[in-house]
Amino acid sequence: MPWRPLPIVGGPPPVRVDEPLARLLRHLGVPESSALSTLTDAWAELVGPTMAEHTDPVTVHHGTLVVRVDDPAWAAQLRWMQAQLVERLAATPAFESVQRIELRVGSATPRRVGPSPRNRGTNC
């Protein structure tokens, strides 16, 4: 016997979860989920290809863009260009609310390709 939902008697009709969730996220200052992937796709264009190799946008919350930076030197460079980046983001419809950038130094994924310096010259 196939599954069928129970009939609704006297209650409100079912609501899709994505609609109230989207309203809640907007209320909390979080852009739509597709907006962050749009930002990730355009990141190299916004900050330049070299900077994009060392930085990743992580999230946006209450007007703050959180960016992961793999080295303190790149964090200093991004801090120096913060005003210009916020201005560029203001021209992007999904990110016009970004007013500041918060930097987090540390890499979630190693960017190095090839053997690590510790394993060079060993057979392990």
For residue 33, the domain's CATH number is 3.30.300
Question: Residues near 44 by Cβ (< 8 Å), separated by ≥ 6?
Answer: 52
**86, two tokens:** 């916020």
The answer to whether position 17 is within a domain reads no
Number of domains into which the chain is organized: 1
pLDDT: is 18 or 111 the higher one? 18
Q: What would the mean pLDDT of 30-53 be, rounded to a whole number?
A: 84
Neighbours of 30 (CB within 10 A): 16
Q: Is residue 19 part of a domain?
A: no
Contact 89, 81 (CB under 8 A): no
pTM of this prediction? 0.64
Q: Which of these, 65, 67, 124, lies nearest to 100 by C-alpha position?
A: 65
Let me know if residue 77 belongs to a domain.
yes
| Domain assignment of residue 88, yes or no | yes
Asked whether residue 118 is assigned to any structural domain, the reply reads no
118-124 average pLDDT score: 46
Predicted confidence at residue 96, as pLDDT, reads 81
Better-predicted residue by pLDDT, 114 or 23: 23
d(CA 81, CA 88): 11
